[in-house]
Amino acid sequence: MPDIVAFGASSSQNSINRKLAHFAAQNVPNATVNLLDLNDFEMPLYSTDREKEGIPEKALAFKAALNASDGIIISFAEHNGAYTTAFKNIFDWISRLEKPIWCGKPLFLLATSTGARGAITVLELAHLRLSRDNPHIPIFSLPSFNENFDDSEGITNTELQAGFDTALSAFVSQLS
């Protein structure tokens, strides 16, 4: 029974990326899901000066959640073509702890937006950066979230569902 950490890389209270990450985690067979909310890990903005004062407890707690998992699902929100500040700040803080940053766990990277590109720019950016530690990271982008996702049904477009299933299967095959 795999333990999956999932989160939307957004601080929005109504994050569609948190919904997509949760949906993906619930589709991992027999998984226990730990759905994280980045708002629970709000910390001072990372800087080398602040690092000299010590690593925040919330960064340690976030890293501990990653370490305790068998796999990690992240769904990226796109702010001006890049990561949200909330995600980037956590990423910066946990990168200062032991390596590898994502604890050597299998990753599944997702992104969605209400637009037709489905936050593909940030997904490609995230994949480029995170695949340095793990070259076999499956990705999936869900365009036009409001037209292609239903809270009770999940992904409603059959072609997009098939693409999701393929990426999810690749992730599941990496779980120990």
The pLDDT-based confidence of 80 (bands split at 50, 70, 90) is confident
Which domains, from first to last, does the chain contain?
Answer: 3-174 (3.40.50.360)
Q: What is the pLDDT of residue 135?
A: 81
96/131 Cα distance (integer angstroms) = 18
Across residues 153-159, what is the average pLDDT?
Answer: 98
The pLDDT-based confidence of 133 (bands split at 50, 70, 90) is confident
Please write the tens of the pLDDT for every residue from 117-130. Answer: 999 999 999 999 99
Q: Give percent of the chain above pLDDT 90.
A: 92
Q: What angle do CA 135, 77, 166 make, to 5 degrees?
A: 45
Q: By C-alpha distance, which of 36, 45, 1, 41 is closest to 15?
A: 36
Q: What's the pTM value of the predicted model, to 2 decimals?
A: 0.97
